[in-house]
Amino acid sequence: MTYENLSPIQFDALREIGNIGAGNAATALSQLLDQKVNMVIPTVKIVTFDEMMDLIGGPDASVVAILFRVFGDAPLHVFFVLSIEEAEVLVQTMTHNSTFSLMDENSANKINYSVLEEVGNIVAGSYISALSDFTNLNFQPSVPHLGIDMAAAILTYGLIDISQVSDYAIVIDSKVNSEDSDNTMKGNLFLLPHPESLQTIFSSLGIKEYV
């Protein structure tokens, strides 16, 4: 099936996936940070590869991304994307070390990278397990892969499979925001289903309308 002719019901189903997944992820993040975390209603977009990079500030914006390859019944990629500053705030909150800087080689040690990977693991893990409960499908996420670089350089990894069959990607974009008096932290959760996975997901939800 192609992305271009998804029905409104199918769009709604994908938005609901984003909703449930991000709701769970926000709860997990809230417990982890011991702070109130809000989520924004997810958006489902069919975008060209260039447009996808614009969703997170342009192709050469520096970002921190934690990538999960998800295997199982319906393979997909999940990215948890933060700006450099947001990732620093996150690590500072977790480690109670307010001087941490990602771009400073001395302070950006392994423990701090590991903190980021673990946060990504918890956030994306809860997203994926909600997705699994909702669809009754089996998902097996990989270990987290941390990347700190230009947005396009990192996100194209999620496009390698998709780009073999399409010039568009479907992005389920959910945002979670923490509310701290000093710092706000916004994270984007990107779900990139492989084209053949869409069919599996829709079938599992009982959506038989392929028009």
Binding site for another protein (CB under 8 A): 48-50, 53, 58-60, 62, 67, 69, 103, 142, 145, 147-154, 156-157, 159-161, 163-167
Residues 44, 104: Cα–Cα separation, whole Å: 36
For another protein, give the closer residue by CB, 5 or 136.
Answer: 5
Shortest distance (Å) from residue 67 CB to another protein: 6
Q: CB of residue 146 vs another protein: minimum separation in angstroms?
A: 9
CB of 102 vs another protein, minimal distance in Å = 9
User: Which CB atom, from 48 or from 98, has the smaller least distance to another protein?
Assistant: 48
Give 23 or 72: the residue with its C-beta nearer to another protein: 72
Q: Tell me whether residue 103 or residue 111 sits nearer to another protein (CB atom).
A: 103
